[in-house]
Chains A and B, each alone.
Chain A
Amino acid sequence: MSRRHVVLLLPALILVAAMGLKTAVTSNGNNLIAAAPVMNGPDPAPKPWNGPDPAPKPWNGPDPAPKPW
């Protein structure tokens, strides 16, 4: 097996192992754990947002409004 094949095969194996591990660790049907944030640093982690996004504000910039077609 050439080095190029190994370069492609190893990442695939690692990805499968990692996703298998993730499934094993977080697949109890408990949304809290499945949605537990990863910690980078000691900052307090908020709960992931599951509600609707706020509606964007209408554009009020200085561009001239086009005439209706």
Chain B
Amino acid sequence: MPGAASYAILFLGTLLEALVVVSAIKRKVLRKYFVLNLYMVLCLLVSWGRHYTLARDGFGSLNYRYFYFYTDALLTIVLYFSLISLYLSVFEEMKVGRYLRLGAVALLAGTSWFTYAIVSQSSHKILTYFAFELSQNLYFVGLVLTYVLWAAVLKMRQTPALLIQLVLSLGIYFSFFAACYALANLHPTLYSRVSVLFPVVGCLLPLSWAYAFWRVPNEARIAPARLAMAGVSR
């Protein structure tokens, strides 16, 4: 069973997820960043569901495992669409929304097909492993997409500061897990120590989004290229 620290982090994370939605409502950006807030609401509901299953069936139970991995796949898909919604916001003025949506669906279909092709050859429990693998593959797709989006944002003349904050938060969130995997890959003995940090990082994304919605003004705009140059000159 998870200890008191795990429950404290779980409680803190759930609070932060709720705070993101409350901040978005307060700043009247709920409709503008609807998919991001939908992701946070789903995270909140899933957290309650996981907590309920954990308390009822225990940490090692099959119920908790299945509930965790299926809901994780669902959340990763919604996170993927949140990222696509950020793409739509960044490229709003270029009127390429239709192509972006088409590309997003093609990428999701391609990832699903690729996952199925791997899972169908190596496992007898196709559905369970499909959900798990799809979640992991979409996570890496999200990581690449975030960096591509950041590269595109750097080329823009001016971008809303709030949008930049949201994209950078996602970049740090995705990169941290990739760095942890890479570190554990180099030194497998470190994995058990590194994995302790995962729940803490799970709190960082809602924390940074809540901060962005709460503190960053809607109308503030930044020239990201100038921001990057300032970072290099320092």
Among A32, A42, A53: residue with most chain B CB under 10 A = A42
Complex Cα–Cα for A45 and B132 (A): 12
Determine whether A56 belongs to the interface, using a CB cutoff of 8 Å to chain B.
no
Task: Tell me if B184 and A22 are in contact (CB < 8 A).
Answer: no
Interface residues on A, range: 35 or more
Tell me the smallest distance from the CB of A65 to a CB of chain B, in Å: 29
**B64 neighbours in A (Cβ, 8 Å):** 46
Determine whether B107 belongs to the interface, using a CB cutoff of 8 Å to chain A.
yes
Complex Cα–Cα for A6 and B106 (A): 12
**A28 neighbours in B (Cβ, 8 Å):** 185-186, 188
Q: B47, B110, B139: which contacts A11 (Cβ < 8 A)? A: B110
Task: Tell me if B65 and A26 are in contact (CB < 8 A).
Answer: no
Among B10, B75, B107: residue with most chain A CB under 10 A = B107
Give the number of residues in B that approach A within 8 Å (Cβ atoms): 66
**A54 neighbours in B (Cβ, 8 Å):** 62
Interface 0/1 of B50-84, CB less than 8 Å to A: 11001000011010111011011001100100000
Interface 0/1 of A1-27, CB less than 8 Å to B: 001001110111011011101101111
Task: Tell me if A38 and B110 are in contact (CB < 8 A).
Answer: no
Complex Cα–Cα for A37 and B54 (A): 17
Task: Tell me if A37 and B178 are in contact (CB < 8 A).
Answer: no
B residues whose Cβ falls under 8 Å from a Cβ of A: 2, 6, 9-10, 12-14, 17, 43, 46-47, 50-51, 54, 59-60, 62, 64-66, 68-69, 71-72, 75-76, 79, 96, 99, 102-104, 106-107, 110-111, 114, 125, 128, 132, 135-137, 139-141, 143-145, 148, 177-178, 181-182, 184-186, 188, 191, 195, 198-203
A residues whose Cβ falls under 8 Å from a Cβ of B: 3, 6-8, 10-12, 14-15, 17-19, 21-22, 24-28, 30, 32-33, 35-49, 53-54
